[in-house]
Structure 1
Amino acid sequence: MNISKQNAVITYITLIFIWASTPLAIVWSVDTIAPMWAMVLRFFLALPLALVLVWLMKIPLPFTRQTCLSYLAGSMSLIVSQTFTYLATAHISSSIIALVFGMAPVITGLIGAIWFSVRLRALQWLGMCVALAGLSSMCLLAQESMHFNVIGIFLVLTSVTIYCFSMYFVKQINAPVTPFAQASGSIIFSTIIAIGFIPFIWEQMPTVMPSLKSISALLYTAVVASIVAMFCYFKLIQNISATTLSLTTVMTPIIALILGAVLNQEYLSMQVYFGIIVIFMGLLLYFYHDIQRMLRERIR
């Protein structure tokens, strides 16, 4: 394995860990900070970092009508989607948040098939149905489980659905910008929207110093989850296949479940674990052809 491949593997592992740990960081950040303020502060901290990186790397950041529409569409996957995720922290555990977000490709496929004329294989439809059945069983059988209720699931599903629609809108607008410029522009628009939230959450503004745990988690979401993850993601886009990158969806929830249990003492009932197993079976069926293709590429 040459150095570039080693770097790609390290970057891949780093991205999986960041995506797996971000839900836990979000939950910890709202420990002593109101959820909406934790989200707003996250973008206030991420914006100057993103702009500094754009300036240092000399990345063009155009503001034409088309690019602004693209940035606005991208902000849907950031602050609009994240609003529901932060609200969900009061109802479900970080591991379940990660698990539901792990279904993003399934929801993306469903949205594409219904609204954007995307053709899916029969096995993908089967995997989609199995994954949704697993999620439904969790909602029906485990409503009283600690760190779990239907309201939280609904909020995260709303968040994931908005995130998936955002990807389609950005693709349809097809603005002539680099991926990093798209992400930075989306952070700018997200921060503008965050400013609009302030009058409605002013009464929840922190009046005492938050705990070190909340501050550390907030910095993690702003710096690592928003900036470092962005670097890793765009680096991988250029170095590995989209199939390999998409399989992070299967691995991320597994690590998130472990992190939630070990670091946050998140208890999940047997009914929840049953639903999780069914969801993973559905994801594996959905990605079956992609996994086969990846294995063939490795053999070659």
Structure 2
Amino acid sequence: MSSNSSSPIIVTASIYAVLVLIWAATPLAIVWSVAEVHPMWVLIIRYFGACIIALAILAVMRNPLPFDKVSMQSYVAGSLNLIGAQLFIYLAANYLTSGLMALIFGFSPLVAGLIGHVILKTHKLIWLQWLGMAIAIAGLSYVFVDSADSQVNPWGVVLMLISMVSYISSIFWVKQINAPLKPMSQATGSLMVSALGSLLLIPFIWQYFPTQMPSTNAIIGFLFTMILSSIVAMLCYFWLIKRLAASTVSLSNVMTPVIALVLGATLNHEHISMHAIWGIAVVMCGIVLYFWKEWHEQYFAK
């Protein structure tokens, strides 16, 4: 009896761990993949490869892929997260370490909360969330003070912020359209729009067409982002969203940057100064404060 009841918990915990590890390793995979190939060519290859895999999975699952007006609008909205947000992440990979990319993207729930409070008026932030946001921003600013030592490039930061806004806008837009689509259908449609949209980049990057086989690390980066980041992580995320509270899934925003920093230092020899480590610790404290009310209500309130 206890074995049967613990089995779903083990499965859920395993899928959660896989998702966090994929999200944490994705910035490093991007950094590796763009080290020898132009970022936009990497993006095009990723989307067309992921699109083919997604269509195959959709066929196996026998899920529909409707092309009515509302569905098409939802695909376009979802593609803002892919061709929009990811485009700027790939450009930022030339300026930032993978750990710092993950750290900046960890701010996305805070920015989403701010947009929901100030612009969309969908929910109100309490004083503890404002405090957490202020502390997290102060920590990030502290990381950026000594940019030469902590390998922070202002252009990289700007590109990551644009990416974050595109990602959050995509989420709000998809929710607002509210198309009656299955997760895999939504993802596949958005990948198709993104792949087709990426073709518009070719006239501007044709001169950078890859002419030789990249290194092993670059190929690993290609395959990781194409299969794990674009397909597996997406399926894990939608599976967890249906079974766990949003507050539980949001814990990943604390874990992912820390794991990404460790992976970057271990596998890519990325140097993070003590100055930056203190700033990162402050950022993590701010994010924990921001989510504290939600976590407390979920796990401790009676």
Smaller-chain TM-score bracket? over 0.9
What letter is aligned with 1:124? Q
Q: Calculate the TM-score normalised by the size of structure 2.
A: 0.95
Corresponding residue number in structure 2 for 1:128: 133
C-alpha distance in 2 between matches for 1:153 and 1:275: 15
C-alpha distance in 1 between matches for 2:151 and 2:206: 28
1:42-191 counterparts in 2 under 5 A?
42-117=46-121, 118-139=123-144, 141-145=145-149, 147-191=151-195
What letter is aligned with 1:59? N
1:204 alignment partner, one of 194, 208, 219: 208
Q: Please report how far the alpha carbon of residue 294 of structure 1 lies from its aligned counterpart in structure 2 after TM superposition.
A: 3.6
C-alpha distance in 2 between matches for 1:290 and 1:128: 15
Pick closer, same or farther for the CA change 1:279–1:146 going to 2, 3 Å. Answer: closer
C-alpha distance in 2 between matches for 1:92 and 1:147: 7
Q: Please report how far the alpha carbon of residue 270 of structure 1 lies from its aligned counterpart in structure 2 after TM superposition.
A: 2.4
Q: Please report how far the alpha carbon of residue 194 of structure 1 lies from its aligned counterpart in structure 2 after TM superposition.
A: 0.8
Corresponding residue number in structure 1 for 2:13: 9
What letter is aligned with 1:261? A
Q: Please report how far the alpha carbon of residue 88 of structure 1 lies from its aligned counterpart in structure 2 after TM superposition.
A: 0.7
Corresponding residue number in structure 1 for 2:30: 26
RMSD: 1.4
Q: Please report how far the alpha carbon of residue 296 of structure 1 lies from its aligned counterpart in structure 2 after TM superposition.
A: 2.8
What letter is aligned with 2:259? I
1:249 alignment partner, one of 228, 244, 253: 253
**Contact 2:81 / 2:166 at 8 angstroms: preserved in 1?**
yes
Q: Please report how far the alpha carbon of residue 146 of structure 1 lies from its aligned counterpart in structure 2 after TM superposition.
A: 5.0
C-alpha distance in 1 between matches for 2:154 and 2:142: 11
Residues matched between the structures, number: 297
Corresponding residue number in structure 2 for 1:284: 288
**Contact 2:88 / 2:163 at 8 angstroms: preserved in 1?**
yes
**Contact 2:143 / 2:150 at 8 angstroms: preserved in 1?**
no
Q: Please report how far the alpha carbon of residue 109 of structure 1 lies from its aligned counterpart in structure 2 after TM superposition.
A: 0.7
What letter is aligned with 2:141? S
C-alpha distance in 1 between matches for 2:175 and 2:203: 33
Q: Calculate the TM-score normalised by the size of structure 1.
A: 0.95
Q: Please report how far the alpha carbon of residue 122 of structure 1 lies from its aligned counterpart in structure 2 after TM superposition.
A: 1.5
Q: Please report how far the alpha carbon of residue 204 of structure 1 lies from its aligned counterpart in structure 2 after TM superposition.
A: 0.8
Q: Please report how far the alpha carbon of residue 210 of structure 1 lies from its aligned counterpart in structure 2 after TM superposition.
A: 1.2
CA deviations 1:105-154 (Å, max 9, x no partner) are 00111111121003112111111111122222222x12212532211111
What letter is aligned with 1:128? M
C-alpha distance in 2 between matches for 1:223 and 1:184: 13
Corresponding residue number in structure 2 for 1:195: 199
Corresponding residue number in structure 2 for 1:239: 243
More moved, 189-198 vs 271-280: 271-280
CA deviations 1:46-80 (Å, max 9, x no partner) are 00000011111011211111111111111111111
Q: Please report how far the alpha carbon of residue 271 of structure 1 lies from its aligned counterpart in structure 2 after TM superposition.
A: 2.4
**Contact 1:142 / 1:149 at 8 angstroms: preserved in 2?**
no
C-alpha distance in 1 between matches for 2:297 and 2:256: 20
Pick closer, same or farther for the CA change 1:2–1:79 going to 2, 3 Å. Answer: same
C-alpha distance in 2 between matches for 1:209 and 1:72: 33
CA deviations 1:25-57 (Å, max 9, x no partner) are 000111211111111111011000000111110
**Contact 1:101 / 1:160 at 8 angstroms: preserved in 2?**
yes
What letter is aligned with 2:147? Q
What letter is aligned with 1:33? V
What letter is aligned with 1:144? A
Secondary structure (helix, strand or coil) at the match of 2:22 reads helix
Corresponding residue number in structure 2 for 1:216: 220
C-alpha distance in 2 between matches for 1:38 and 1:159: 17
The runs of 5 or more residues in structure 2 that have no matched partner are: none
What letter is aligned with 1:185? G
Secondary structure (helix, strand or coil) at the match of 1:59 reads coil
